[in-house]
Amino acid sequence: MASPKKSTATPDLDASQRTNAVVRFAGDSGDGMQVIGDLFCDESAMMGLGICTFPDYPAEIRAPKGTLSGVSGYQVHFGATVETPGDIVDALVVMNPAALKVNLDSLDRQGLLIADLGAFTPDNLKKAGYETNPLDDPGLQERYKILKYDFTELTKETLKDFTTIKTTDKLRSKNFFTLGLVCWIYSYKLDATIEWIEGKWAGKGELAPANVATLKAGYNLGLTAELTMPRYTVTRSMNENGVYRKINGNDAICLGLIAASQNCFRDIVIGGYPITPATSILEFLSAQKNFNVKAVQAEDEIAAIGVALGASYAGSLGVTATSGPGVCLKSEILNLAVMTELPLILIDVQRAGPSTGLPTKTEQTDLLQAMYGRNGESPIPILAPASPSDCFDIAVEAVRIAIKWRTPVFILSDGFTAHSSEVWKIPRVEDIPDLSVEPIRHGEKYVPYQRDPVTLARRIAIPGRPGFEHRIGGLEKNEEGKVDYHGPNHEKMVHLRRNKIETIADTLPPLTVEGAQEGDLLVLGWGSTRGAIHLAAKRVMAEGKSLGVAHLRHMNPLPKNVGEVLRRYKKVLLPELNLGQLALLLRAKYLVDIQTFSSMQGRNFTVSEVEQKIREMLP
Amino acid sequence: MESTALPATKPAELTRKDFVSSAEVRWCPGCGDYAILNSIQSVLPELGVPKEKIVFVSGIGCSSRFPYYLETYGFHSVHGRAPTLATGIKVANPELSVWVITGDGDALSIGGNHFMHVMRRNLNLNIILFNNKIYGLTKGQFSPTSVLGQVTKTSPYGTIEQPVNPVTLAIASQATFVARTVDTQPAHMKQVFLAAAKHPGVSFVEVFQNCVIFNDNAWKDVSAPEVRSDRLINLEAGKPLIFGAKSNKGVRASKDGRYEVVTLGEHGVEEKDLVVHDPAREDATHAWLLSQMNYPEMPTPIGVFRSVKRPVYDVELEEQIKRTTAKQGRRNLHSLLRGGSFWEVAEGGQDIKMTQGGKNRLDDEESIADERTREALRDRNNPLNLALREPIGRVFYEYGYQRSVTIAPTDSINTAISLFKAQKVETIMVMMNGKPVGTISQREIIMNVALSTMDRDYTAVSTVMRPSFDLLDDTSTVADAINVLSISSQYSIPLKLAKGGYGVVNFNQILSFIHEKMVDLVAASHTKPGEKAAEGAGSKPGET
């Protein structure tokens, strides 16, 4: 996202101040772009800046070197008001011609283009489909501020005295040269990177000192070329004391689940099956053996949820993670969980569909599937994280609901939230809520479908406890747990299951609006679009318009005041990465007209497109 | 069969009646399912498992109503998926005795994929397949086991597809226990179910079951009393394959490797020429050849086809957790949340400190004590802490040195018992090729051997010992040792001695050591306040 100053930003001799900036590192898969992207984030954090990133891996596992399909990118948005990975890039680092071709469109006009001249060989130009060297194009030089250096040569020159290192290994460190230069441009220090290098190559001879030397040489290039080099400082945002880290959505869900599992005294059993973009949840949890997490990689999506539900029945916290196509397969057992009223966490990391669709791209198109994609009247609570770090809180909340109401719970994350990272203020362990529920006492009379008067949740007796032997299953039961096909009993149970889920709303915080509490326009969002919607609305609000912005995290049941909030505005705008699924639900439920702003391009909203839409809607 | 797969403790005597639920049984009169239900209800009291620890899981179909009729925990799930739920139940709580009840359509058609994987995964489950070669609950469509050409409602002109052989499929899927029985032979059924229950690992039993309404006489051609001795062959371990009303027919391996029927006394065929049934054969060829024997070409075998020992999934999973936990330390949410690198922000953002390479990485093998233990040990004035900081080697040299006794994993249980008696030790270290592989204590003997019927001369120490994954250096602290013992719930722990060789210490020795150390330290602090307690490793051995 562009900083307000950017359009006028011309290279300054003094470090010019910016509130935010966006850098993208792009090169071959083997150029180490993800490594320096990560380290650049660390250095940003050391400066007290907020960060949000989005990695962009090639779709192919091992794409040919130097080709367009092999370009790997890492975008970092850093500064004071960071809520998205950024619309437009302020500084683009390209390690070869293919990287330039793939990424040039995203670079802001008058943005900074940093290129490794050494990689613009005739061969590489040809692979990228350039007939002439684009860096020599006068048009390009006019549109962007170009810094071109032969990083390859400069790295070789820097390391000429490191005689024990082979030339090929020397060239591998040229990404550090680039990182050093970018760190100078944004007035960073190098401490975190140096510490990382020294840890990584400890005891590996000259490798650590060589990489540090390359890093410093890049930094010094900035110093010595000072007259022609732009330099900026960026506004800090980490002003609150505490412990912070960088986290992506899938990892945050895992941490939330583990924290919650400790606080409800149930060990996690995850039944999983690899599927993009949910796979890293199964991978992460598979490694947490010392938290008693049991991970079963099942034979298919159905078995994965079967394992999770069986484990929940036997007293564990059953978890399964998948994406839309997997949800299709899981829906029958999901309904079994609804019918048997057992806790279960289903994480749907949404991707663009239908069918296989765009497996690596993001979308919010599973909302109606989560709401209604099963046979029978089958209510399931649905939660949607608003950002990567929010995934932690959402996971804890999902477990709270699942355990207390004995119900499967949907977490609707998406590919964007799963993979982008942001700074997270780590909660103190003692602040994570206690989620335990009262177990049945020995000797009590047990009636399997007897309900709590407040939550309407049934009571659960776990196999292994003597005296409570009973049978459950997918057939309709009466309160005693006996199979009962009578119409009136069925109707009663259908209402009970629905009302049970509705009582969750009694415990939810009301929907809050930022900005105007009533007036011309409410911009409402849900899930991962929060960053773009919130920033866009704030920009317009800054001009004093009658505008409110609100965000939903509980999709089912909705907070109790949603209808009342919607009716306070003349118009409601709902940007969604689908054709208007939430709008459909809200219109039906509250009879309020809602205008959908839809985007289906496999990416999240940009701030500017939402901003433009808001302006169109305002008088 | 091993008896170690089931809890050795005997509950109050249960009878068949204890397993009869109050639900009204709703199968058609004359259905084969009644006989199977009776059989299971008579087997369950003999397992020595309390009924609250038994779970029956089923899919969909006539057979899948089964759990409702048993007074145990029961889960009637969805079509074909019972093995997946059973997997989750067993993984969550390996102490439960978990049974899957399924049918030919449920297991082999809609649940075909799960069938293969639940077999190869080898959880300790019992899977009973009621094979009536028809879809009964939906009123008479052909199933994957219906015979070629069978006329049903969905095959009015006869089926045109090959049926699947459940036993062959189970063997091909690497099931470790595969058996077959018949609903009309209660004694045989009971014997097979008992063997299945006792097998550690997955047990698969196909039951020839009759559907009186939609596929009556499904198995009559082999199981009718007047023909069955000629058409069924009962597999008995260690016995030659003999069948026939006159017991004069047998099965021989032909020169090209197939099994063929021969008549004893004809063409010079003697009993010694026949195939001797060995269900424990490592390779599956014999079991597979048996599974290919079908009436009318051959007699159809019933009994246990295959019973071999392989690592059990739920056991391996628990062991993996223990091993990893011993290496990485127990759950520490605080450090997990911080992850590999984090920033501590103080002074309103003016002071930012970064930590890289946090301690919760998988490859971090050094730290055994978790943070809480370390925290507790920081107080240097507490005599208990000083005792806990002593090297564990001292416990060995002062309390265990003279009494370290070793045994080989292949030695018999009786050898171990005689060593316990003769040497007056509580723990014996199990050594193989000069390395410790486990420990065996009196507790293991009492828990696993005393109440069982296992042959103590024949059974190896390796079957009851506690395998050791945690080998501590003798310079590790007493606190480290306690931490590892509590994580792994072991009674004793082997040590690697700095002087070479191995030793073993147990909880009693550690407690005695701490006790005496504290008494000494408290006494010393009263006489000479401020004197620093002795520290460091390399203490003298007591005696050789």
SS3 readout for A93-117: EECCHHHHHHHHHHEEEEEEEEEEH
State the pLDDT at residue B426: 78
Phi (first) and psi of residue B459, to 5 degrees: -75, 135
Q: Is B378 left (phi over 0), alpha (psi -120 to 50) or beta?
A: alpha
- Grouping H, G, I as helix, E, B as strand and the rest as coil, residue A269 is strand
Query: Alpha-carbon distance B5 to B91, whole Å?
Result: 15
Q: Domain for residue B258, yes or no? A: no
**Chain B: closest CA distance from residue A311 (Å):** 4
Among B218, B240, B275, the domain-final residue is B218
Q: How many domains in chain B?
A: 2
Place of tokens 């040792």: B481
Give residue B364's pLDDT band: very low, low, confident or very high (50, 70, 90). Answer: very low
Q: Give the pLDDT of residue B454.
A: 67
Q: How far is CA A388 from CA A248, A279, A391, B180, B341, in A?
A: 5, 16, 5, 54, 17
pLDDT value for A15: 64
Residue A318: list chain B partners with CB under 8 A: 88, 92
Q: In this model, does residue A3 exceed pLDDT 50?
A: no
Taking the C-alpha atoms of residue B255 and residue B237, their distance in angstroms, rounded to an integer, is: 23
Over residues B77-128, the pLDDT tens digits come to 999 999 999 999 999 999 999 999 999 999 999 999 999 999 999 999 999 9
State what percent of residues in chain B have pLDDT above 70: 87
Cβ–Cβ gap A471/B95 under 8 Å: no
Choose among B67, B317, B356: nearest Cβ to A294: B317
Amino acid identity of residue A434, one-letter, is D
Nearest to A466 among B50, B85, B114 (CB): B50
Residue with tokens 């015979």: B147
Domain boundary among B177, B196, B218: B218
If you average pLDDT over residues B237-263, what whole number do you get?
96
The per-residue pLDDT for B357 is 63
Query: Which of the residue ranges A102-111, A409-418, B421-430 would you say has the lowest mean pLDDT?
Result: B421-430
Confidence of residue B360 (pLDDT cuts 50, 70, 90): very low
A491 has pLDDT over 50? yes
Better-predicted residue by pLDDT, B366 or A401 = A401
Closest CB from A192, A239, A473 relative to B348: A239
User: pLDDT band at A5, cuts 50/70/90?
Assistant: very low
- Nearest in space to A249 (alpha carbons), one of A83, A71, A95, A395: A395
Lowest mean pLDDT among A52-66, A69-83, A147-161: A52-66
Average pLDDT over residues B356-377: 48
Lowest mean pLDDT among A464-478, B34-48, B155-169, B328-342: B328-342
With respect to residue B172, please indicate whether it lies within any of the assigned structural domains: yes
Chain A nearest C-alpha distance from B473 (Å): 22
Q: Which two tokens stand for residue B88?
A: 């989750």
**pLDDT at residue B402, as a whole number:** 61
- pLDDT at residue B453, as a whole number: 66
With respect to residue B95, please indicate whether it lies within any of the assigned structural domains: yes
Does B261 score more than 90 pLDDT?
Answer: yes
pLDDT band for position B374 (cuts 50, 70, 90): low
Interface test with chain A among B77, B353, B488, by most A beta carbons within 10 Å = B77
3 state SS of B181:
strand
Query: Beta partners for B276?
Result: B240
Among A226-235, A390-399, A404-413, A447-456, the minimum mean pLDDT is found in A226-235
- 3-state DSSP call for residue A22? strand
In-domain check, residue B304: no
Inspect the interface and report whether the beta carbons of B349 and A238 lie closer than 8 Å.
Answer: yes
> Smallest Cβ distance to B52: which of A241, A303, A464?
A464
CA–CA separation, A574 vs A558, rounded Å?
15
Rounded mean pLDDT, A159-171:
89
**Residue B159 falls inside a structural domain:** yes
For A252-295, what is each residue's pLDDT tens digit? 999 999 999 988 889 999 999 999 999 999 999 999 998 999 99
What long-range pairs does B472-476 form, CB within 8 A, spacing at least 24? B472/B368, B472/B392, B472/B496, B473/B498, B474/B391, B474/B392, B474/B393, B474/B396, B474/B498, B474/B503, B474/B537, B475/B391, B475/B392, B475/B393, B475/B537, B476/B368, B476/B391, B476/B392
3-class DSSP assignment, residue A155: helix
Give B10's pLDDT tier (boundaries 50, 70, 90): very low
Would the CB atoms of B73 and A463 count as touching at under 8 Å? yes
Last residue of a domain, one of B169, B201, B218: B218
Q: Which residues of B touch A338 (CB under 8 A)?
A: none
Range in A113-117, B3-7, B292-296 the model is least confident about: B3-7
Please check whether residue A176 is in contact with residue A197, taking contact to mean a CB–CB distance below 8 angstroms: yes
Q: Which of A152, A24, A179, A159 is nearest to A91 (CA)?
A: A24
Mean pLDDT value of segment A611-616: 97
Of A48, A470, A474, the CB nearest to B77: A474
Could you tell me the strand order of the sheet in which A569-576 lies?
A513-515, A547-552, A519-526, A569-576, A595-598
Which residues are B494's β-sheet partners?
B504
The residue that leads in pLDDT, A338 or B428, is: A338
Query: H helices within A294-353, ranges in order?
Result: 301-313, 324-340
As separate numbers, helices (DSSP H) first and strands (DSSP E) second, chain B gives 18, 22
Is B69 part of any domain? yes
- Measured CA to CA, the distance from residue A451 to residue A492 in angstroms comes to 13
Helix axes B186-198, B33-43, angle to 10 degrees: 50
**What is the pLDDT averaged over residues A558-572?**
98
pLDDT in tens, B203-231: 999 999 999 999 999 999 999 999 999 99
Q: What distance in Å separates the CA atoms of residue B268 and residue B155, rounded to the nearest whole number?
A: 48
Residue A485 exposed, middle or buried by CB count within 10 Å (0-12, 13-18, 19+): exposed
Least confident of A388-392, A434-438, B76-80, B88-92: A434-438
Distance CA A400, CA A315 (A): 15
Residue-range definition of the domain harbouring residue B187: 16-218
For residue A429, list chain B residues with Cβ-Cβ distance below 8 A.
333-334, 337
The two structure tokens encoding residue B347: 């002074």
HSE, side-chain direction, 13 A CA sphere, residue B391: 22
Tens of pLDDT, residue by residue over A298-356, are 999 999 999 999 999 999 999 999 999 999 999 999 999 999 999 999 999 999 999 99
Is B205 part of a structural domain of the chain? yes
Nearest to A330 by CA among A339, A342, A320, A341: A320
In the block, residue with structure tokens 């590489």: A124
CB-CB contact of A590 with A565 (8 Å): no
Amino acid A6: pLDDT = 36
* Domains defined for chain A, CATH in brackets: 6-234 (3.40.920.10), 245-431 (3.40.50.970), 513-617 (3.40.50.920)
Is the peptide bond prior to A510 cis by the omega test (within 30 degrees of 0)? no
Q: What is the CATH number of the domain that holds B35?
A: 3.40.50.970
Give ∠ CA A607-A609-A614 in degrees, rounded to 5. 95
Q: What is the residue-averaged pLDDT of chain B? A: 86
Average pLDDT over residues A419-427: 93
pLDDT at position B532: 43
Is A260 exposed, middle or buried (CB count within 10 Å of its CB: 0-12, 13-18, 19+)?
buried
Q: What is the pLDDT of residue A13?
A: 42
B contacts of A298 (beta carbons < 8 Å): 84, 87, 117
pLDDT at B361: 36
Convert the pLDDT of each residue in B300-344 to its tens digit.
999 999 999 999 999 999 999 988 887 777 677 888 898 888 888
H or E segment and range at residue B303: strand B300-307
Per-residue exposure over A13-27, b if at least 16 CB sit within 10 Å of its own CB, e if not: eeeeebbbbbbbbbb
Q: Which of A305-309, B369-373, B449-453 has the lowest mean pLDDT?
A: B369-373
Q: Is residue B537 part of a domain?
A: no
CB count within 10 Å of CB A70 equals 22
Residue A141 or residue A378, greater confidence: A378
Predicted confidence at residue B249, as pLDDT, reads 97
Cβ contact A386:A84 at 8 Å: no
Which tokens in the block code for residue A169?
Answer: 């290994």
CA distance, residue B84 to nearest chain A CA (Å):
5
> Is A48 in contact with A238 (CB distance < 8 Å)?
yes
Q: Do B92 and A267 touch (CB under 8 A)?
A: yes
In Å, how far is A49's CA from the nearest CA of chain B? 10
Residues of chain A contacting residue B75, judged by C-beta atoms under 8 Å apart: 310, 313, 340, 471-473
Q: What is the mean pLDDT of residues B25-31?
A: 94
Element (H, E) at B208: strand B203-208
pLDDT score of A17: 86
* Alpha-carbon span A11 to A8, nearest angstrom: 10
Residue type for position A152: T
Q: State the CATH number of the domain containing residue B387.
A: 3.10.580.10
**Chain B neighbors of A314, CB-CB under 8 A:** 55, 88-90, 92-93, 96
pLDDT tens across B141-188, in order? Answer: 999 999 999 999 999 999 999 999 999 999 999 999 999 999 999 999
- What ipTM did this prediction achieve? 0.92
| Mean pLDDT of the residues in chain A | 92
Residue B9 has pLDDT above 90, yes or no: no
